[in-house]
Amino acid sequence: MTQPLRQSAPSLSPSNLPDPVRAVIFDMDGTLIDTEAAHRRAFAETGEAIGWPMSDALLLSMVGIHRDENERMLSQHLGPDFPLARFYAESDALFEAAVDAGIALRPGALLLLDHLKQAGIPMALATSTAAPYAQQRLEKSGLLDYFDVIVTRSDVEHPKPHPEPYLLAAQRLGVDPAHIVAVEDSYAGVRSAVAAAMATVMVPDLLPRQRNWSSPARKSCPASPTCAICCSRRRRKDGKLF
């Protein structure tokens, strides 16, 4: 597995963040682990191979969405003749081969996780990936031990963009959502965290930034989880982190 460099943190001025920050909840795919591009390649290559090429717009609309919703979208866009079972069997095989070859982390992910751990800030994961696959990716990427709480698709009735994943993670952490920062890469994930009334940082991966989120507590960072270090660099008036 190739580990990213622990880069130097940029100087960013946080705004609208809780004071104090008592916990941070992360998305997984595309936020900490660089898997969204592999998913997109697997979908695109499989679509071509089975004679159902997919547009970039359709592929991007699937980012950050749980499988049930993606299946509904594919059926809606491509019609009832689309071979859904074959598509997922073949695209899953391509994606798992990419995972087996090694999972890269997003630039700056380890820097942020290490910093929060050293500061004693509890961390949770809220992902739309089912439990066994999330466990596998966290183990292979070396991230499993960073998290006090892990909430997967298997734990919730209503996945992102519903707030349930973030609210459940907050409940299990025992922290008021008003004192939590959420870190996301997808529109569905940001909507989920915002609906849970959490300060939300978007670190774009495949999807571009938006600035019209309906929340007074959100920040859009320009490149990678390195930028989200602004959350962990906030100092209180007494000089202590958070």
List, by residue number, the catalytic residues: 27, 29
Beta bridge partners of 25: 124, 182
Other beta carbons within 10 angstroms of residue 135's beta carbon come to: 14
Residue written as tokens 């989880």?
225
> No. of H helices and E strands in the chain?
9, 6
The first and second tokens of residue 17, run together, are 């963040």
Query: Phi-psi category of 38—alpha, beta or left, where left has phi over 0 and alpha has psi -120 to 50?
Result: alpha
The burial class, CB within 10 Å (0-12 / 13-18 / 19+), for 55 is exposed
DSSP secondary structure code for residue 174 in this structure:
T
Quote the CA–CA distance of 163 and 197 in Å, as a whole number: 9
Contact 235, 241 (CB under 8 A): yes
DSSP secondary structure code for residue 144 in this structure:
G
Contact 39, 114 (CB under 8 A): no
Quote the CA–CA distance of 112 and 228 in Å, as a whole number: 7
